[in-house]
A and B are shown apart, each in its own frame.
Chain A
């Protein structure tokens, strides 16, 4: 979950995204903060060459692996971010 949170922070800080997509990402971050997750900064290899959508998919995979309630809530906001980004 720490890696997922680190990646979410990376996505929030680095991409030029719509304000509502941004807040959906922040919603997911807040859900992970509730369970005392410490962010782990993503490695260069982890993020190089991956698009915004691919990184979002990676976050989703990491949350699926963690598999408890809070990541599930965060996953809802990831889907929302993806949907909003696609609608723009």
Chain B
């Protein structure tokens, strides 16, 4: 099971709701814990894509102001105490890291910076403002921080008075009062499905994310080859099929339609173009490996002998949370790679074209084109005249324009599909309501294992890993 923003938020919430009896923190531990918690929570709130000037932004600014008074510097040489506050601080930092690490959209030809001669392919850009995605996370964070402020105040009552600390904590508790409620309900944010993965991660979601990263790298001009572009289109075709097999589309016909359109569009591009057009780069080895590493587990986990397994059979086999996180990763990664594919093909096919055309096909466009080429060997006086089979011509021709148009259509369909999947995963009638939140246990002094509360679902089934 992948670690997701949603999973970390659940943990954050559980830690914030630790009852007073379980926390025997000293005044120093509380003070230090809050210094760190306020600092990392401020970073997390700032990482959310909040629309400036909105009520959500106003609410964030008020919270930031209150947290600012409690915030301190990094731990430095002092080891952190093992308290729920310290763990909350680490979880808040992890959430903001995941939000920031999921990088900005692909750029075909990034400008090299002045300092570095090498191009910086992935400059960090803030995520586009999206209050619908930001507000649920902000509310969940403030609710947990408010709970923690409330029990910290309770602890302070029994200690040597520290009026400044008590006043600042009271301020946090008051401004977060409206968000505090038992459990984390709806609405939830689609950003909760952003997942952390490592190179050793053997989840299908991790394979999709690694594939997405390699695909973007492969779309840089030097490595564009016909085979790798066809492979990418075929992978996007497969990913649309994989989304179909894990998303319950019976309740959302528009999702089924979006999947069918994306499948059709990428199938057409996977058969692109006939043999008269070629891209001459070397196939990128890393992308080819990532592609094969994606397809093998996809086939093993989601397909049977006769093709894709039905969604119902897969839902019985794997946990909803895993499947939804995979659907989110597959749909959003396809959207990002699809847009990048279109941009790269557009750049390759127009202007200084890098598409090679077979000589016969080129002569149809331009009968004056030279059919031979001369190469001079250093040891020979006369150059060798050799027939040309492939030519690079600046005018792309109607078939190349049509191909770029197909890529634009396919990218649009992937975008539509990703929008539908986001909506389905966050709507109260969607799949998110079925999740079983397994409360994590607090750590540190006084931590005690509590019995698991009963949930309306049985324990999750096996993880979508290979």
Which residues of A are at the interface with B, using a C-beta cutoff of 8 A?
6, 9-10, 12-14, 18-20, 22-23, 26-27, 29-30, 32-34, 38-39, 41, 87-88
Contacts and interface: CB of A to CB of B under 8 A. Distances in A.
B275 A26 contact: no
A12 B230 CA distance: 9
Contact of B225 (A12, A33, A87): A33
B283 interface: yes
B270 A41 contact: no
Given A19-B267, A34-B282, A29 B241 contact: no
Contact of B275 (A6, A22, A33, A88): A6
A9 B283 CA distance: 16
A30 B227 contact: yes
A40 to B, nearest CB: 8
B443 interface: no
B464 interface: no
Given A39-B278, A41-B276, A20 B295 contact: yes
Given A23-B231, A26-B231, A38-B390, 20 more contacts: A10-B275, A12-B271, A19-B234, A20-B238, A20-B303, A22-B267, A23-B234, A23-B235, A23-B291, A23-B295, A26-B227, A26-B230, A27-B288, A29-B226, A29-B230, A30-B227, A33-B225, A39-B278, A41-B275, A87-B305
Interface of B: 225-228, 230-231, 234-235, 237-238, 241, 267, 270-276, 278, 282-283, 288, 291-292, 295, 299, 303, 305-307, 358, 389-390
Given A34-B282, A34-B283, A12 B270 contact: yes
Given A23-B238, A26-B227, A30-B231, A13 B307 contact: no
A39 B271 CA distance: 15
Given A30-B288, A38-B389, A41-B275, A88 B307 contact: yes
A18 B307 contact: yes
Contacts, number: 73
Nearest to A14: B271
A35 B403 CA distance: 26
A13 B299 contact: no
- 3 closest residue pairs by CB, A with B: A30-B227, A29-B227, A33-B227
Contacts of B291: 23
Given A19-B237, A19-B267, A41 B358 contact: yes
Given A20-B295, A20-B299, A20-B303, A26 B274 contact: no
Contacts of B237: 19, 22
Contacts of B225: 30, 33
Contact of B306 (A6, A41, A88): A88
A72 B367 CA distance: 39
Contacts of A39: 275, 278
A84 B94 CA distance: 43
> Of residues A6, A23, A29, A41, which shows the largest number of chain B Cβ atoms within 10 Å of its Cβ?
A23
A32 B231 CA distance: 14
> Of residues A10, A13, A20, A34, which shows the largest number of chain B Cβ atoms within 10 Å of its Cβ?
A20
B300 to A, nearest CB: 11
A53 to B, nearest CB: 19
B270 A27 contact: no
14 contacts: A10-B275, A12-B271, A13-B274, A19-B267, A20-B299, A26-B231, A26-B270, A27-B288, A30-B227, A30-B231, A41-B276, A41-B358, A88-B306, A88-B307
A59 B428 CA distance: 53
B164 to A, nearest CB: 64
Contact of A22 (B234, B273, B389): B234
Contacts of A41: 275-276, 358
